[in-house]
Amino acid sequence: MPYDFAEAHHLPNRRLPEQAHADPYDLPRQRRGVTPQMHGRYPDYDVLEQADHWDEVTRRVVLERVGSVPEIRFFAMEEVETLTAFADIVLAQDSEPRIPVLAYVDQKLFNGERDGYRYFDMPDDDETWRRVARGLDEEARRRGHDRFALLPVDRQLEVCHGFATGKLHKGAWDTLNVSRAWSVVMRYLLQSFYSHPWAWNEIGFGGPAYPRGYSRFGSPHLQSAERETWEGKEAFEIDPVEDTQQRGLE
């Protein structure tokens, strides 16, 4: 039976430690539309208000990403729990609303869709994902817990750091090039996250410009030439790169 993501077990809402990431709660509260955790740099912008300007096919595809989350059909239930916790950590989605990235990863794997290439020393992407799930749970057991999702957040961060730096060993990790496995799973997660309109609201992306097009691009004589009249206006001045460096979060 397909696993229904909407009815899946949700981990308790939790704030990550201050040293773990740049705190999204420093950002303005979202006033229009939806962003992950309802905070962002463009609090009065909702890309879905532009839907009438998109062609019919584009509008249907984009709106389905919000209103029709696909069922889980590829991953097993225990893999969903482990990988959802992993995705929440690496994407810093520590409270609702969350973009259900794993549902879109699952859909891509179930449909046999790939990105057109594979590392020569890596298994197919679907097998990479399964081994990563197994490896995360093995790391949890080495730390005294049955599954990755049950680890305290600081221990989850520790595991993710080891994964990102290619320093995990034994068990499933010895069957993978760990650094490349990290690249594979993060590519899938980031594609799923940033193809969702809630992420577009968060970064001020104007969404599809077809058939309207861009009228100000390449016109420096126009006021605010880098931003179309229908795009979001940033309301938070702190530079994220400088802020990350100052907090020592690189």
* Average pLDDT of the residues in 22-26: 59
Domain ranges (residues) in the chain: 5-13+34-210
- Residues 106, 199, 214, 230, CA torsion sign: positive
Q: Give the predicted TM-score (pTM) of the model.
A: 0.82
Q: In whole angstroms, give the CA distance from residue 177 to residue 175.
A: 7
pLDDT score, position 230: 75
Q: How many residues does the chain have?
A: 250
Residue that the structure tokens 């006021």 belong to = 223
> Tokens in use for 143?
């730390």
The residue with tokens 């549902």 is 103
pLDDT of residue 235: 79
Q: What is the DSSP-derived secondary structure letter of residue 19?
A: G
**96 touches 20 (CB < 8 A):** no
Interval 208-224: pLDDT, tens: 877 777 766 656 665 55
Residues 6+ apart with CB under 8 A from 24: 36, 37, 39, 40, 92
Residue 175 three-state SS = helix
CA distance 201 to 190: 15
Write out pLDDT tens, residues 34-66: 999 998 889 999 999 999 999 999 999 999 999
Strand partners, 54: 211
How many C-beta atoms surround the C-beta of residue 167 within 10 A? 11
Query: Does the pLDDT at position 241 exceed 90?
Result: no
Whose tokens are 């060993």? That residue is: 169
CA of 167: how far to CAs of 83, 178, 219, 244, in Å? Answer: 19, 8, 49, 23
